[in-house]
A = this chain, B = another copy of it.
């Protein structure tokens, strides 16, 4: 199964597209803790990009505590997901929610529309999780 696809002309940097997709699949449950990821070289080959680009994506993900890399073995999604202290998590959530709220208001959306969009996004993640 092909887990990743990239668009080199999308304007978004390749390494970031990789990161986003790992995060997405993790949030959706397509990737589970402990699971092995494609090796740097393998993924670089199938996506036709330089290994250093994948290495950068994986390196950042490791720095964020999302995945774990072992020489000679490969890359794996971290066994126990990075758990934030509740307070710090609350603050982070507020930052993210503020951003959504402001940008949504910007396009003229009201509270109901915004909540509905969030509900749909959460529902889709939960559906894939099953």
A contacts, CB < 8 Å to B: 20, 23-24, 26-27, 66, 81-84, 89-90, 92-94, 96-109, 111, 113-115, 117-118, 120-122, 124-126
Q: Which residues of B contact A102 (CB under 8 A)?
A: 20, 23-24, 27, 125
Kindly state the separation between the CA atoms of A24 and B101 in the bound complex, as whole angstroms.
9
In the complex, the count of this chain's copies comes to 2
Q: Which residues of B contact A66 (CB under 8 A)?
A: 106
The CB with the most chain B CB atoms within 10 A, among A23, A66, A117, is that of A117
Contact (A118, B100) CB under 8 Å given A106-B66, A107-B82, A108-B84: yes
> What 3 A-B pairs have minimum CB-CB distances, sorted nearest first?
A93-B117, A27-B105, A97-B121
